[in-house]
Structure 1
């Protein structure tokens, strides 16, 4: 009886622990470059007090990359937006990519900016509504 109870508790714990990771996994490899490494800290696009997305900067394959990932909870309650990812270097954002409508994960184009100070730029632009914006910290 005790063994069955312990197995039941262990099984329930395994299901709960398995559930923590579901829907949160992020593919963090830039298109065409499988050896990217995050540089700097993660920034967060906020919508009021709710976290909408993560913004990160990566380096790899001789380039910098901007990355934006819309969080599962935010995506479940919001639609009608476009996500933009780019690299900032002091001028206009470069490597700018606009995802498809309601796309959850967007990579910028790779930029040849490893020799200058850069940051990742992330935007969520609602059709006919607000634009949410966040940059990561500058990396030199």
Structure 2
């Protein structure tokens, strides 16, 4: 009984901890997996605002941006943009989220046979901070 309560308490603590990762699945492709490592959008004062990831599966790529709860709690009226960028500098599948939307997926892109990076942008007013994931071919 005591062990079960400790496990439940640890699980609840991990759910409430800022910046804790959660499972992500791109819209329309449950078999897609993250490719490359996670990148982090850093705000002007050095605080981490968001995680940026690239996913591949079902013959497509997606960019994904997740704004951390602790950062979002201190900032209002932000916008998040997710896209997949190719070596020619074009942004594919670009999606700009609603005001204060913390999780944004790009649209699925037909870039699976190209070198790509996910792009995440967090904007506050006219200021914006961006980060690319590593290039994946």
Q: Aligned ranges for residues 11-30 of structure 1 at < 5 Å?
A: 11=5, 13-23=6-16, 24=20, 26-30=22-26
Which consecutive unaligned segments of at least 5 residues does structure 2 have? none
Indicate the structure (1 or 2) with the bigger Cα radius of gyration.
1
2:31 to 12, 30, 35: 35
Please tell me whether residue 44 in structure 1 is matched to residue 40 in structure 2: yes
Q: CA–CA distance in 1 between the matches of 2:21 and 2:136?
A: 25
**May I ask how many residue pairs the two structures share in their alignment?**
132
- In the other structure, the counterpart of 2:69 is 72
- In the other structure, the counterpart of 1:81 is 78
Q: 1:83-117 CA distances to partner (integer Å, 9 max, x unpaired)?
A: 00000102221110011100010000111111110
C-alpha root-mean-square deviation of aligned residues, in Å? 1.8
Q: CA–CA distance in 1 between the matches of 2:80 and 2:70?
A: 16
Which of the two has greater helix per residue?
Answer: 1
CA contact (8 A) 1:28 1:36 kept: no
1:20 is displaced (CA, Å) by: 2.9
Give structure 1 regions of 4+ aligned residues with deviation exceeding 4 angstroms: none
1:21 is displaced (CA, Å) by: 2.5
Q: CA–CA distance in 2 between the matches of 1:135 and 1:115?
A: 19
1:14 is displaced (CA, Å) by: 3.5
Q: State TM-score, norm by structure 1.
A: 0.86
